Amino acid sequence: MKTREVRRIVVAPPKKHAIVVAAVCTILLSVALAGRSPNQTANAASVPAVEPASPAPPAVTAAPPSPPPTLPTPSDFTAPVKSGDNLAKIFDRHGFHPRDLHLVVHSGPHGRRLASIMPGHEFDFAADDEGNLQHLTYRPDRLQSLEFRRIGDRFEATETVRQPDHERVYRAGRIQADQSLFTTCMDLGLSDAFAIRLAELFQWDIDFVHDVRPGNEFHVLYEERRVDGEFIGYGEILVAEFVTRRRSHRAVRYVGVDGVASYYAPEGSTMRKRFVRTPLDARVSSPFNLNRVHPLWKRVMPHRGIDYAAPTGTPVKATGDGKVVTRSRTGPNGNYVVIQHGERYQTKYLHLARFARNLKEGQSVAQGQVIGFVGATGWATGPHLHYEFLVDGVHKNPSTVGLPEAEPIPDALREDFLATTTPLLDDLQARKDSDQIAFQTTRP
């Protein structure tokens, strides 16, 4: 019942963007409801660096050395792409000759990109006194522009890509009654995608449905990407803290020698665990219980795993990196998969409707990878996943077993790790300290 209540809260946040919220919540259910989505999990732990974390380098320009010819003609103007437009329509609308269109489009690979223009993109036109196109600039977004310059009877194209500025921003929120992390983020003007990224950082430690209470706080230092001062998107989350009643969790970003960014606790243990707690987003229908009376056979038969009730076809994900040692079918198990994780750990997934396509014995799988789909094959009263977790061949309760951590920062990198992350943690703390005043005055 509690689960349902929380679900309602998550699903019924403020009025305005009902549709967005509904969509968000669908995603959220995977992150928040289950608390952890193994698929996103894998990504969260080792987010490839999308862009440099350090201050943005100066704008890199592939522009030609000479400036475009200035054409002081009355025909210089900007034309936005409208719904249903193609380049021919735009040329026609502004009175350009189809021959100019032909020359531009056939000016090489850049010309071909004009076939995929979308509403919102922009063109700048410049023509000579006879109305012949001389110069065309195409801007698909704030960062890219393609310039086509007439040289005799052809057009030469160059591309310019600007680098956005990265501005460091601090935000903090306190969860109010009847609010979730996600609605709180929305109230702060942070996007749902940002809220999900924030939740993913802590997904191995915090169950965002059951552990999160009113009064819990988060503090985050992240980058905003800006062009000419205008926000164009979120950059990396540099450091974040989530404070529950019991403790404070902090995660700081660090890019390893392989160029891959991961999040670590301040002392260098990784946020990521070798296993996520659950192989799918669903409710427990039958817990681990060594004295259970079996529903089909009506006698005491230990239940050495956990059953998750979920609709047929729900994806089942590997809870840790490992190797598929069994992909088979038996009368009791139905379709089932066994994954070996290193020497000591094994996980089992039973009653699958079907296996993931191309899943083979001997194959390596990554944490979060879909290995099959929920079904009711074998001894099952309805569609569910039976999940087992074995340590040294002994069945453990998957919901309480201590999960081993992934690799911490290696000794060789520790010095660099501390040199990089300490200033971030200090910056967060400093902003947090000055923010406490704001918290107290604006939020009783």
Quick check: 390 and 396 in contact, CB under 8 A? Answer: yes
Closer of 235 and 398 to Zn ion (Cβ): 398
From 305-313, 317-325, 398-406, 417-425, span contacting Zn ion (CB under 5 A) = 305-313
> For Zn ion, which stretch binds (CB under 5 A), given 71-79, 231-239, 355-363, 381-389?
381-389
Name the residue number minimizing CB distance to Zn ion: 386
Q: Which of 304, 327, 386, 395 binds Zn ion (CB under 5 A)?
A: 386
Where does this chain touch Zn ion (CB under 5 A) — which range of 224-232, 260-268, 382-390, 426-434?
A: 382-390
Which residue lies nearer to Zn ion by CB, 309 or 366?
Answer: 309
In whole angstroms, how close is the CB of 38 to Zn ion at the nearest point? 19
Measured from the CB atom, the residue of 36 and 395 that comes closer to Zn ion is 395
Count of residues interacting with Zn ion (CB under 5 A): 2
Min dist CB 313 to Zn ion, Å, is 19
CB closer to Zn ion out of 100 and 307: 307
Output 277 or 386, the one with its CB closest to Zn ion.
386
Site for Zn ion in 19-38 (CB under 5 A): none
- Shortest reach from residue 349's CB to Zn ion, in Å: 11
Choose, by CB under 5 A, the member of 307, 327, 356, 395 that binds Zn ion: 307
Residue 384 CB, shortest distance to Zn ion, in Å, is 7
Of 105-113, 123-131, 210-218, 304-312, the window that binds Zn ion (rule: CB under 5 A) is 304-312
Least Å distance, CB 60 to Zn ion, is 57
User: Minimum distance from CB of 305 to Zn ion (Å)?
Assistant: 5
| Burial zone of 346 (CB within 10 Å; 0-12 exposed, 13-18 middle, 19+ buried) | buried
Closer residue to Zn ion in complex, CB, 269/285: 285
**The one segment of 109-117, 258-266, 273-281, 386-394 that binds Zn ion by CB under 5 A:** 386-394
Distance CA 239, CA 170 (A): 10
Shortest reach from residue 203's CB to Zn ion, in Å: 25
Q: How far is the CB of 285 from Zn ion (least distance, A)?
A: 9
Cα–chain center distance at 70: 45
Are 353 and 336 in contact, with CB atoms under 8 Å apart? Answer: no
Instruction: Report residue 331: phi and psi, to 5°.
Output: -55, -55
Q: How many of the other CB atoms lie within 10 Å of CB of 86? A: 13
Query: Does 388 sit near Zn ion (CB under 5 A)?
Result: no
| Binding residues vs Zn ion (CB under 5 A) | 307, 386
